[in-house]
Amino acid sequence: MTCSAKACTRTAEFALLWNNPRIHTPERRKVWLACPDHRTHLHEYLQIRSLLRDDVPVAEIPEGAG
């Protein structure tokens, strides 16, 4: 799996689980993948917008997230 940051081709190690309450049901989890270099940037982007729900290793992405 590749990092979701624009133009990044590194392997993702983290999954940022997010949800936009204006368009998603409360239990829905969308996933952005992050390499170590982009984890902080993507995490802060989602957190500032109150969209971040969880930050987990790729191996722990919940079933049904996506």
12-50: pLDDT as tens digits? 999 999 999 999 999 999 999 999 999 999 999 999 999
pLDDT class for 58, splitting at 50, 70, 90?
Answer: very high
Handedness of CA 35, 40, 43, 46 (dihedral sign): negative
Residues 10, 40: contact at Cβ < 8 Å?
no
**CA–CA distance, 13 with 8 (Å, rounded to integer):** 13
- Domain assignment present for residue 3? The answer is no
Tally of domains in the chain: 1
Residue 41 lies inside a defined structural domain of this protein:
yes
Domain, as residue range, for 54: 14-60
Residue 39 lies in a domain: yes
> Which pLDDT band holds residue 54 (cuts at 50, 70, 90)?
very high
Query: Does 66 have pLDDT greater than 90?
Result: no
